[in-house]
Amino acid sequence: MTAGPLLSPVAAAPLPIRWMGRLVDWAVIGIGATMATLVFINVALHVVGKDLAWVTELGELLMVWVTFLGGACAAQRGAHMSITEFIDKLGTARRRWADAAVQVVCLGVLAILVRFGWNLVEGNWGNQLTVLQWPMAWQYMGMALGCSLMAVFVAFDFLQTLRGVPREARYP
């Protein structure tokens, strides 16, 4: 049996978007591996009655980052959950416009999250995480950056939809 690619395929996109997508993919893999390692070490230390408090706080920070960057990974692959019973019954042209309408709503929600997310980052440089003593802005930045990246991927998909590229071609 031959091994497939480590990362699942994504649709053709301009080079900067492909690079951004791969960077996000590898960041999620790296953060996930770091979290798993830290949690394993802390659980092993619990066996001998020790605890590293900073591991819990760093784990929470990394969880925020991996959650929102993971959302960006899913957005670039069109892998977010959707209920398509209605939209699948539409003809090609109507399906395209329905997809575009959904993407506009998604972009609106993402625009709100991006705006308020970066406001949270800006307003929390003076607040510190309890144990790590890092600016709390670093934790909020995971949401702001992840939503910004999701908006880029959804906007690219929206443009592809308007150009008439069918969903099957947009997401291999």
The helices-and-strands tally (H runs, E runs) of the chain is 5, 0
**Residue 77, token pair as written in the block:** 């692959």
**Residue 76, token pair as written in the block:** 């670039």
Given a cut of 70, whether residue 2 has pLDDT beyond it is no
Three-state secondary structure call for residue 82: coil
**Residue 138, token pair as written in the block:** 């670093």
Give pLDDT tens digits for 122-164.
999 999 999 999 999 999 999 999 999 999 999 999 999 999 9
Give pLDDT tens digits for 68-126.
999 999 999 988 888 888 888 888 889 899 999 999 999 999 999 999 999 999 999 99
Q: Residue length, the chain?
A: 172
Cα distance between residue 115 and residue 146, in whole Å: 12
- Per-residue model confidence (pLDDT) at position 8: 72
Residue 99 · residue 90 · CB < 8 Å: no
Cα distance between residue 160 and residue 157, in whole Å: 5
Q: For the chain, list the strands marked E by DSSP.
A: none
Given a cut of 50, whether residue 1 has pLDDT beyond it is no
Given a cut of 60, whether residue 3 has pLDDT beyond it is no
Provide the residue ranges of all domains of the chain, joining segments of one domain with +.
15-170
